[in-house]
Amino acid sequence: MKPLLFSAALAALAAAPACAHFQLIYNPEPNLERPGDVPLRLIFWHPMENGHAMDMGKPLELFYVFKGEKIDIGETLAPITFTGAQNGAAAFEAALPVKRNGDYIVGLVPAPYYEESEDIYIQQITKVFFNKGGIPSGWNEPLGLPTEIVPLNKPTNVIAGSTFSGRLLSQGAPVAGAEIEIEYIAAEPDMETNAVGEATVGPVPGGAIVAITDENGVFTFGIPRAGHWGFAALGAGPATEHEGKELSQDAVIWIKAYDLD
């Protein structure tokens, strides 16, 4: 097991990009009180820099897990154009049908994206969490994805000023020594117009914010402000090639932090 973990960690470091792109599954509010369809926006973007948006291909898989049951919602996908601060890009809308109380974990397996500047494919396997009624029902369970980050704090109501920890898995096993990139949605997308809103923060000096997983695959980050925070492990997945080119198969999760006031 040790050599596998070691090589995965090396691959993650080697895959570190020049800029921090994050796959979003976005809705402003993860805590729900009523049943109904929750609209989602799938956007591949540079959310902390409020930067370049990339054209998404049709996702390979979109689903949610509720109390251990996996339900495909790929048929709700419809193409949209997301208008970022710099450009417009092909994105998708979808809907999460919420009925009973509990945790709804949404999982997305995007089509590999070809990044011309690096001559590689990128596939960011992404999870986001919704909860209805304040009743927990499995947010801390892995979904069995090729690679994923499993939260160790409830991801739907992290308090700004507290910490968030997660465990990085590849094929179900913890990945030690992996780089975790951390991002904040600086300008939240508008659900009506599919355009970017007003930026509330600028990028930090010195490039990406990074944590490293420990021997159990666990990382921790102090959450300094309310909003949507994303965590990405680049090259953590088992697939390393797509159509004859290098593939960075990444794990991404999103959490929502609130001010305690």
- Residues at the interface with Cu ion (CB under 5 A): 19, 21
Question: Residue 153 or 249: which CB sits closer to Cu ion?
Answer: 249
Question: Residue 67 or 245: which CB sits closer to Cu ion?
Answer: 245
Question: Residue 21 or 127: which CB sits closer to Cu ion?
Answer: 21
Distances in Å between the Cα of 212 and the Cα atoms of 13, 103, 112, 254, 257 are: 10, 28, 25, 18, 21
Nearest approach, Cβ of residue 7 and Cu ion (Å): 24
Q: Is 177 left (phi over 0), alpha (psi -120 to 50) or beta?
A: left
Question: Residue 21 or 242: which CB sits closer to Cu ion?
Answer: 21
Chain residue at closest Cβ approach to Cu ion: 21
Question: Residue 19 or 218: which CB sits closer to Cu ion?
Answer: 19
Nearest approach, Cβ of residue 210 and Cu ion (Å): 15
Q: How many angstroms from the chain centroid is the CA of residue 65?
A: 16
Question: Residue 15 or 25: which CB sits closer to Cu ion?
Answer: 15
Residue-by-residue DSSP string for 160-213 = TTSEEEEEEEETTEE-TT-EEEEEE-SSPBPTTT-BB----SPPPTTS-EEEE-
- Reading the block at residue 49, the tokens are 């820099």
Nearest approach, Cβ of residue 117 and Cu ion (Å): 9
Question: Residue 223 or 232: which CB sits closer to Cu ion?
Answer: 232
Indicate the residue type of 24.
L
Helix, strand, coil share (%) of the chain residues, nearest 5? 5, 50, 45
Nearest approach, Cβ of residue 152 and Cu ion (Å): 27
- Reading the block at residue 18, the tokens are 């020049």
Nearest approach, Cβ of residue 242 and Cu ion (Å): 17
Nearest approach, Cβ of residue 2 and Cu ion (Å): 32
Q: In whole angstroms, give the CA distance from residue 171 to residue 147.
A: 6
b/e string for 43-72 if b means 16 or more Cβ within 10 A? bbbbbbbbbebbebeebeebbbbbeeeeee
Nearest approach, Cβ of residue 17 and Cu ion (Å): 5
